[in-house]
Structure 1
Amino acid sequence: MAQSDILRLDDIRAAAERIGGTLKQTPCLRSQTLSEMVGAEIWLKFENLQFTASFKERGALNKLLQLDADARKRGVIAMSAGNHAQGVAYHAKGLGIPATIVMPSITPFNKIRHVRGHGARVVLFGETLAEAATRAHEMASAENLTFVHPYDDLAIMAGQGTVALEMLQQAPELDTLVVPVGGGGLIAGMAVAAHGLKPDLQIYGVETELYTAMHQQLHDQPVQVGGISIAEGISVRDIGKAPMAVARQLVRDVLIAREADIERAIVALAEIEKTVAEGAGASGLAALLVHKDMFKGRKVGLVITGGNIDTRLLASVLMRGLVRDGRLARLIITTDDAPGRLAKAAGIIGSAGVNIVEVAHQRLFTLASAKSTEIEFVVEARDRAHLAELLDTLAQAGLNARLLDPMAAV
């Protein structure tokens, strides 16, 4: 089996020793329900339980601890969409190092608030991580600050690799790791650690469908990425040179997760594991649920890389999950505009065991007869089969009903 000639297992072991007194060892637990769903033995590494709710603390702390006294006094600067920023800011504060973080202007508010809460100076610049990086490099030169790269740095990669060391200590039977890929620092560090300990262990990456740079490079395709993703933590245009070199040696392949599949995975982790995962943190499970046949019978470790998701977005994702499952639906009943029609429809819906969440009449914005009305119900049912039963019952009662279900096939 190939070995990395860029980063060594000993570098990662040294990082583990360096940061071990400060960072917690997060749990790595077998999920019975997810294992049954996938047909494989699934273990979850809960990096969302770090203090800043992300694995990024590992690399940031490993890097900061290796700075000399002069560099610490001058301060550091980093560019980040959020989690690296929080890791750098939090540990820089603990070490007494001034920190500046350049973040894209579209960074979620909660991540900006947390970074500022850790005492860092925040500069919002550009629409992408690449634009923020350009500004950060300019400021580093102008203010003589040490640039702390989020992924293309051997100290960062070594720190992130400690995730795999812990996983194989906690679940030594693992034979596969599925790792979210942004700039590549995590998967590179974990691949070196895992192959150093178990040379035959398989490493797969996961990228969101809008940002597939590592997949494209591994398959010798031109890099074409862009768009707004729920997984902003892995919405990275450029893979680091060092991580990419390691990936070519040690990563088996990179899988693609659709946005809808990532949403489903966020919901599954919340409902099944009672844990909050951001989009990037749920992407590994998203890929696994789609590519079940690839992992059937294997012992798979997934990293929940982070839990920093905006609460409003989380609420939206959870509600959209109810819509996808048919547990929440919009129902339109077209009927003559006569007294008692609403009461009749509502009575049938209630008798079917379906809960009415909202109701509204529509008489103007419709192509139906001027003597008719459309009654729109938002209803809560057990599942899609329950909704189908309701439609049959309404039809038998002479009420023309249809579902407005744009997410049925998503």
Structure 2
Amino acid sequence: MGAWLSDPSILLAGLFLALVQFLAALPWLYVVDPRGFRRALVTPSAMMSVGLGLLAAGVALAIYMGYNTDSRTLSWNGRYIYGGLLHLQLLIDLLIVIPYGVVALWPKGGAVAYAAYREACRQPMFWLITLGGVLLTWLSVCIPYFTFGDDYKMMKQIGFDIAMLAAIIFGVLSASMSISEEIEGRTAVTLMSKPVNRRQFLIGKYVGIILACLILTLFLGWNLTYALRAVREFDQINNDPDPVDPYAPLSKVVDPMTFQAQRSVVPLFETPVPSSPGKAVARGAGLWFSDVTAHTLGQMLGFGKVMILVAIAAALATRLSFVVNIVLCLLIYFLGHLAPVVVRVTESASGTAVGAGLVAFLGRLFDVLLPALEFFNMGPAIIREAPLDLWRFGGYVLTVLGYSVLYAAIALIVGLLLFEDRDLA
């Protein structure tokens, strides 16, 4: 228990780890009590109390690391307690910082986006869909997939799909209701009487809703990381050692997405921390954030689909009612997945069947006009035995996100054209 007294590096490691958690908590502490936060910065006694609290937290961590010197246990706690808590705090920081950044960069439209973002996050629908996504993810842990050892990969595919579908459902419903209700309820007239034009109104609404969808996606990703660990504990056939585990030989690549990320991210956490117990905790946190790095790439791939469909819903909401908008978005979603399949089937067919030419023409037409949603499929990156090159995969994700931004911009331009001569009075 007194190892931290005889080895000052353990105390330094505890102080460093506590300081990182404290710095991650600063943004949301400011939002909880802005006046008290600013007052504490200029009050010596308050700063001293903060310093003493930070010292106490560091000493507590040092005592724990000095008492429990097992590297496996320290690494596990660093991964699923310290790393998970740090990740959650960073997500809360992101939830707070991004809207303020939008307002700072784009004052008028950003104000509309900030209002739409707050409205979206306060809706019961946001929390119901989030809770439904969490429950479905954990329900998927218990489902037997009969994949002969690949249940983990199947569960990961389902987890990404749940996060993507939850964001799409919320984004499309929110855009359809919010914009159409603003126009039909004549509240948009009041907004337009202020120095906000139609372009700032529509794009601001879209940006605010898409930011709420981003937070929902990232939170479900945080939940998915815990659920994936539970899969490996629940089904022992998926409980092979991690690639960077120094205590066990690698039998096969269970998680090809995080194979390379672990070798890149873990040293960033482990290197600056002194003492062997501190490095074990930092190694666990690095393993968590290596999963986060790989999972974030997958989530951003699915988020591109969310951006496109929410943009289409926002554009259609300028002219169509809520029910018609939802039906059209659902039709676009299915045809966007079906059109490439129809094109491939008709190209390989002989073409002698009655109506085959018409089907081929419609398939090619939909393939050109509708978004190519097959580009957002995470399956090939997950269901593989070889490690995944994250640099190349990251380049692919950026390319697909660029396509999503371009298609969403086109959809919003069409929405602006529809909105331009819409009578708001």
TM-score range, shorter chain: under 0.3
TM-score (norm 2): 0.23
Structure showing greater relative contact order (alpha-carbon pairs closer than 8 Å, 6 or more residues apart): 2
TM-score (norm 1): 0.24
**Which protein has the bigger strand share?**
1
